Amino acid sequence: MILLDGKATAATIRAEIKVEVTELSARFGRSPGLAVVLVGEDPASQVYVRNKERACEDCGIVSMPYRLESATQLELEGLIQQLNRDVNVDGILVQLPLPKGLDSQRILDLIDPNKDVDGFHPVNVGRMSLGLPGFKPCTPAGVITLLKRYNLDPACKKAVVIGRSNIVGKPLAMMLSQAGPCANATVTLCHSRTADLKAECREADFVFAAIGVPNFVTADMVKEGAVVVDVGINRTDEGLAGDCDFEGLKDKVHAMTPVPGGVGPMTIAQLMVNTLEAFKLHVGA
C-alpha cells in the first residue's frame, strides 16, 4: 500500500511557497498577509488556528490574529469590513464554527471574494461550479493536490464521495467531475439517504470519506486496489480516528491517507497557497 503522506507533502509545499514569497516580498516591498479571526474559546478551533499561524511562519506569510473572547454580530461584521479595506490583508479566514447567536453565512458573505482564501464565498463557489478561476475550499483542493503529487489520476475512473457538506463533500465531488488535471472522474455523491452505500463504494476506484463517523468505511465496503482518502478526524476514547478503518483497509487498498497526517496538513497547505495567490492578485504579480 502507498501511504499518502500529507504531512511530508505539505512540508514540501510550504518550502516551495517560502521561496516564492521571499522573491515576491523583495519585489513588492511587503509580504502576504493573512487575517485569522477566532471568536470564543473552542479548544479545537484554538488548535487549528495555532497550526495555521505556524504554517504562515514557515512560509513567510504575515499572520494577523484577531482573537475575540466574544463578539456581537455587528461587531464581527464591522471587523470583516475593516479587514476588507486593509490593503495589507490579502486573505481573511474566519475560524468556524462561530459561537451560538452569530450568523456564520452572513459573515462569510461579507468577506471580499478576492480575500476569501477559505473559498466559501458564494462568488467563489459559483466560479468553481463553472470551472472558472477562483479560490477553492482548502480541504477538497488539498485532496486534489495530494492525488497530483502521488500521480493518482481519477480520470475515467469511478469515484465515490461520502458526505455532502458544503465544506468538503459537495465541492470535492464537483472538482473531481470537472474537466482538467486530476479530475474527469465519474462521481457518485453519497450521504445518509443513499439506498445502498456499501454497493456504491464497492464499485469505486476512488473512495473519499467525509462523513464524520469513526471507522465508518470498512474492508467489506471497498474493492481490492482502490484508493481511499480519509477526510475525517474524530476524537474517540482511544484517540484520534478517521472515517475509515485504516488497519482493516491497509492490506486491501492501493493507496490510503493516514489520520492524523493525511488530509489535515494538506488543508493548511492549501490555505497558504490561496493566500499567496490572493497576494499576487492584489499586487499584480
Average pLDDT of span 89-105: 96
Residue with cell 494538506: 266
- Give me 27's grid cell: 519585489
Q: Are 134 and 123 in contact (CB under 8 A)?
A: yes
Strands 234-236 and 239-241: antiparallel
Domain total in the chain:
2
Q: Is 95 a catalytic residue?
A: yes
Average pLDDT of span 81-96: 97
Separation CA 148–CA 13 (nearest Å): 12
Catalytic residue among 52, 115, 136, 170: 52
Catalytic residue among 90, 116, 118, 245: 118
- Residue 47 placed within a domain: yes
Ligand-binding annotation for 80, yes or no, is no
- Residue 269 placed within a domain: no
Assign residue 104 the CATH number of its domain. Answer: 3.40.50.10860
In 136-228, alpha helices (H): 138-149, 169-177, 197-202
pLDDT for position 44: 85
Q: Are 116 and 109 in contact (CB under 8 A)?
A: no
pLDDT for position 15: 98
Residue 61 domain boundaries: 29-112
pLDDT for position 261: 96
Assign residue 214 the CATH number of its domain. Answer: 3.40.50.720
pLDDT for position 70: 93
Per-residue pLDDT of 212-229, as tens digits, reads 999 999 999 999 999 999
Ligand-binding annotation for 101, yes or no, is no
Same domain for 70 and 180, yes or no, is no
Per-residue pLDDT of 263-279, as tens digits, reads 999 999 999 999 999 99
Catalytic residue among 58, 95, 116, 170: 95
pLDDT for position 42: 86
Residue 178, phi then psi, degrees to nearest 5: -75, 165
Residue type, 110: L
- Give the confidence band of 238 by pLDDT, cuts at 50, 70, 90: confident
Rg of the chain over Cα atoms, rounded to whole angstroms, equals 19
Ligand-binding annotation for 63, yes or no, is no
Per-residue pLDDT of 32-66, as tens digits, reads 999 999 999 888 899 999 999 999 999 999 999 99
Q: Is 82 a catalytic residue?
A: no
Ligand-binding annotation for 129, yes or no, is no
Per-residue pLDDT of 137-171, as tens digits, reads 999 999 999 999 999 999 999 999 999 999 999 99
Q: Is 158 a catalytic residue?
A: no
